[in-house]
Structure 1
Amino acid sequence: MELILSLFTTFLFLALSGRCSDKNDFPEGFTFGSATSAYQWEGAFDEDGRKPSVWDTFLHSRNRSNGDITCDGYHKYKMCRSWWKLAEMPSDSPFLRLGLYRVRKVLLIPRVYSSIRTSFKNSIEPHVTLFHYDHPQYLEDDYGGSINRRIIQDFTAYADVCFREFGHHVKFWTTINEANIFTIGGYNDGITPPGRCSSPGRNCSSGNSSTEPYIVGHNLRLAHASASRPYKQKYKDMQGGSIGLSLFALGFTPSTSSKDDDIAIQRAKDFYSGWMLEPLIFGDYPDEMKRIVGSRLPVFSKEESEQVKGSSDFVGIIHYLAASVTNIKIRPSISGNPNFYSDMGVSMTWTVLGKFSAFEYDVAPWAMESVLEYIKQSYGNPPIYILENGTPMKQDLQLQQKDTPRVEYLHAYIGAVLKAVRNGSDTRGYFVWSFMDLYELVKGYEFSFGLYSVNFSDPHRKRSPKLSAHWYSAFLKGNNTFLGSQGITQLQSNFSSSSFS
């Protein structure tokens, strides 16, 4: 019943607000595409000069599923010999058959220097993310990685090489992916590399959840700004590109109508979004965050503040779901030491359908709209690219092929983006996560987000289009036949007899 009500809400929302019939409803030049990440897609973890990343070390040391092979993107197509070689893309590539002319790609840092040596000939426009949680393990071993300010210099040098060598083909650069989540997961919770924390019950051998998240977040902001400066000075005008930073953004709703929960919403926004955005826009952290965290929050020097402020041409938003927020008394965590969550002083309940045995994100397009509206109102309406949006489904090949819930989710959220744009948000692009099934960083191969399914039991990693691939293709080609509830039903009936290979 909950699923039925949710789907009804979705179609009601589309009927009354976004009224998205196809991509032509969006402003001219609006970007649509799909996304992948190198570690999650490439495989070939020890080939052609690739060195271990912190993800290799983290997953191997914990005997968890990993991206050693994943969907074997490195070997599957000529264009995948390195992720960059789109020049060699065959005419029957699924990228082109899907109608994708813009693809968000993520560099795998341990391989980048040895594998990128070609240019583009096809009409696919890449949006490139330079850092996706995967810095080389040797930087971690040498000086502690992102916890050390030396990362700023090394990241800047790496970015400069990419700008110089590939900037004539890349017009959109994102420096750091989900800077807030990388920091919280790796240094507060210890559930992602490098697995540092001091919270009780976590499998962390080192770390300090009271201080390290804020130190790392500070260093990442400075690394982004440091890389942005030479790009703008040496490359931007000549190459005609732009550079930004991305963050994970939740749509927050109060769990009650109390004043405390309403205040907690703003505090959650300050900690999740303002932590990353306010320095980029205003040159400093939110006042409430400075008050609560106190001396544990690093301070920007006057020079650093000026460097960080205005360092992004756009903001990358990664959004999947909403959270219900309840105020809690700001107090130290169970261990007696504060951490990111006790500092934030809220508890959050994710809006998902079912438990992890049948896991999908709730269809809550209002959350997307609220994120875009909040950024417009609070941060001067900067240009925005939605770099990831999608919903997971259980990794079941039979179920995956007819992924109607994913179609309905995408339809609803694209409609929400359209409504936000019509209401004045300077949102300029939308990317579905993910182009194909791959290794998911938290849940491994249990759930997938792909428009294409990948048979991970097949040594050839056979790809097959899902219903969502057909739907998104129709949307991108301006074919509104399969949009709306009746169109989706028709698409389902046509699915088994159609071919998308």
Structure 2
Amino acid sequence: MPVNDIIHVSLMFFVVYLLVSSTSNAEGFEIESQDVRRSEFPDNFLFGTAVSSYQVEGGYLEDGKGLSNWDVFTHIPGNIKNNENGDDADDDYHLFLEDAEIAQSLGVNAYRFSISWARILPRGSFGEVNPGIEPFLTIHHFDLPQELEDRYGAWLSPLMQDDFLLLAETCFKRFGDRVKYWTTINEPNVFAEMSYVRGLYPPAHCSPPFGNCSVGNADIEPLIVVHNMLLAHGKAVKLYRERFQSKQGGSIGLVVQSHMYEPLRDVESDRQAVNRALAFTGGWVLDPLVFGDYPPEMRQYHRSELPRFSSEETEYMKGSIDFIGLNHYSTLYAKDCIHSPCVLGGDHFIRGFTFTTGERDGTLIGEPTGVERFYVVPRGMEKIVDHVSKRYNNMPIYVTENGYCPPLTEAAPNLLHDVNRVHFYNGYLAALARAIRKGADVRGYFAWSLMDNFEWAGGYSSTFGLYYVDRLTMNRTPKLSAKWFQHFLANRSSARFNRQRSVNPTPKSRRVRKSKYIVIATTNANATDVRRNDNVSLLLY
């Protein structure tokens, strides 16, 4: 089936946009108790949920898809918790219509997801475009064709820039008339950290003291990888603006992840450590895209190994985002390692000569979650948005990920009756509303995630979803938090939401009944035509 006739790709295919008291919970951690309503956000605010292709899609070898780096990495015993993989994931590749239904039922008006590079260009530039697929929104979210890794080391090579440009151009040509919000790359800083500092993601490069991989240099390789990613982004944006943006009417940005940081001690050196920590995480990625060079905090301490941009590169890098995609989950303490002794690792450049921790004097900064170094600290949302807004001249911001994973020891019934996730969203959305009232130009919020999915090295043990997914049947069941979201988006008082209300125990059928969508095209033989008859924006890919 020709590409132009197909509208189903690596993930889902519509767009939706979304969002979310001082008391203490049972563990004694402070939580926000104030009311928060949809009306506290602008009328045109985008509220949605988010997923990524490899984490939910499945169908890993169907319809001409090539092997991705994650397909290979997850099949090596010991790389992933419980030796799990994303071969089937949430089977969104086949259940995308149902997932469109459940997202629409929340009342959201946006949906963030990514395309699978290996499904669109199975062998990168070394093969043909795979017919029958159309992508949307995030062009590159961690997974890439294994062939590019095997041939030249993927993001360690400048050759990757042009391979990415080919992918971006393919997406702009095929899908640009239906896509109004593009992000080129998801979290270059996290990708570099997990793949080339800690070695927990493919290609599993690291070096002491961060890990004991067979290959890698944690002081140098992350800098090269991010540099190539930023240049690839800049080239893609230049192409988009010159050839597509004026006629397609879209906007384009990039997604960065950043904790907020607070000084561990009430001393000036730790306050400076906070500034360095922010510069060496979000600033590492955003400064070149806004100002044309890496943060001065990085240049000051790393004059030789930190790559430099040529004058030509600076020209197309500077101002190469229309908006900032900000992923935020947690807040940590920061301690100076320049003037104070630190534990091994904090004294390295790649860490900004800063030691970060979630504990001070035996007390955690916030309620612990099921993810290492992720704590529930709602005030951090207000602070990080305020910081990004001020540093980058009040550029438009979309909070592209924010969500909660319960501790892995949490009892099974609580997985559906997820009161702590309700507390999380209430607190973080209230903090976001405060940042907006203070003047930050925030235009959207995406909850991570629509449903439980494959959480990278954590496999299926980490559950961020508003919907529970039965791993055997693939049935989706709404959690209490999904009902809270519906309540919030209907502009009802969050303070009045009955956190004890029951969740429908009957799993939602895989079969979509009385669907509001008619399939325009999928790679399945039964596909017919997809039309919308409601007011939720449906973007087909």
- In structure 2, the residue matched to 1:74 is 93
Query: Matched residues in 1 for 2:65 and 2:286: separation?
Result: 33
1:373 has 2:386 as partner: yes
1:20 has 2:36 as partner: yes
- In structure 1, the residue matched to 2:161 is 152
- In structure 1, the residue matched to 2:497 is 487
- In structure 2, the residue matched to 1:102 is 110
Of residues 67, 73, 82, the one that matches 1:58 is 73
SS of 1:263's equivalent in the other structure is helix
- In structure 1, the residue matched to 2:350 is 340
- TM-score, with normalisation over the residues of structure 1? 0.87
Query: Matched residues in 1 for 2:31 and 2:345: separation?
Result: 42
Query: Matched residues in 1 for 2:444 and 2:210: separation?
Result: 41
Amino acid at match of 1:217: V
Q: What is the CA deviation profile of residues 288-341 of structure 1, one whole-angstrom value per residue up to 9, with x for unaligned ones?
A: 211212211001111111111000001100000101111123799969995512
- In structure 1, the residue matched to 2:267 is 258
SS of 1:316's equivalent in the other structure is strand
Contact 1:382 1:426 in 2 (8 A): yes
Residue 146 to residue 279, structure 1, CA distance change in 2 (3 Å): same
- In structure 1, the residue matched to 2:465 is 450
Contact 2:54 2:116 in 1 (8 A): yes
SS of 2:314's equivalent in the other structure is helix
- In structure 1, the residue matched to 2:124 is none
- In structure 1, the residue matched to 2:453 is 438
Query: Matched residues in 2 for 1:38 and 1:49: separation?
Result: 16
- In structure 2, the residue matched to 1:132 is 141
Of residues 456, 478, 490, the one that matches 1:477 is 490
Contact 1:37 1:107 in 2 (8 A): yes
Contact 2:207 2:216 in 1 (8 A): yes
SS of 2:458's equivalent in the other structure is coil
Amino acid at match of 2:432: V
1:427 has 2:442 as partner: yes
1:304 has 2:313 as partner: yes
Contact 1:209 1:339 in 2 (8 A): no
**Aligned-pair distance for 1:235?**
1.1
**Aligned-pair distance for 1:20?**
2.1
**Aligned-pair distance for 1:270?**
1.1
Q: Please give the root-mean-square deviation of Cα atoms over the aligned residues, in Å.
A: 2.7
Query: Matched residues in 1 for 2:307 and 2:313: separation?
Result: 12
SS of 1:60's equivalent in the other structure is coil
- In structure 2, the residue matched to 1:122 is none
SS of 2:75's equivalent in the other structure is helix
**Aligned-pair distance for 1:157?**
1.0
Residue 290 to residue 410, structure 1, CA distance change in 2 (3 Å): same
SS of 1:114's equivalent in the other structure is coil
- In structure 1, the residue matched to 2:8 is none
- TM-score, with normalisation over the residues of structure 2? 0.81
Residue 72 to residue 291, structure 1, CA distance change in 2 (3 Å): same
Of residues 287, 293, 297, the one that matches 1:278 is 287
Amino acid at match of 2:433: L
- In structure 2, the residue matched to 1:400 is 415
Query: Matched residues in 2 for 1:281 and 1:77: separation?
Result: 36
SS of 2:195's equivalent in the other structure is helix
Q: What is the CA deviation profile of residues 388-426 of structure 1, one whole-angstrom value per residue up to 9, with x for unaligned ones?
A: 000002486522110011011001111111111111101
Query: Matched residues in 2 for 1:135 and 1:282: separation?
Result: 29
**Percent of residue pairs bearing the same amino acid type:** 36
Query: Matched residues in 2 for 1:416 and 1:361: separation?
Result: 17
- In structure 1, the residue matched to 2:481 is 468
SS of 1:264's equivalent in the other structure is helix
Query: Matched residues in 1 for 2:63 and 2:212: separation?
Result: 33
Residue 337 to residue 427, structure 1, CA distance change in 2 (3 Å): closer
Q: Which has the higher contact order (CA 8 A, sep 6+)?
A: 2
- In structure 2, the residue matched to 1:353 is 367
Which one is further off, 29-38 or 331-340? 331-340
**Aligned-pair distance for 1:96?**
1.9
**Aligned-pair distance for 1:104?**
0.3
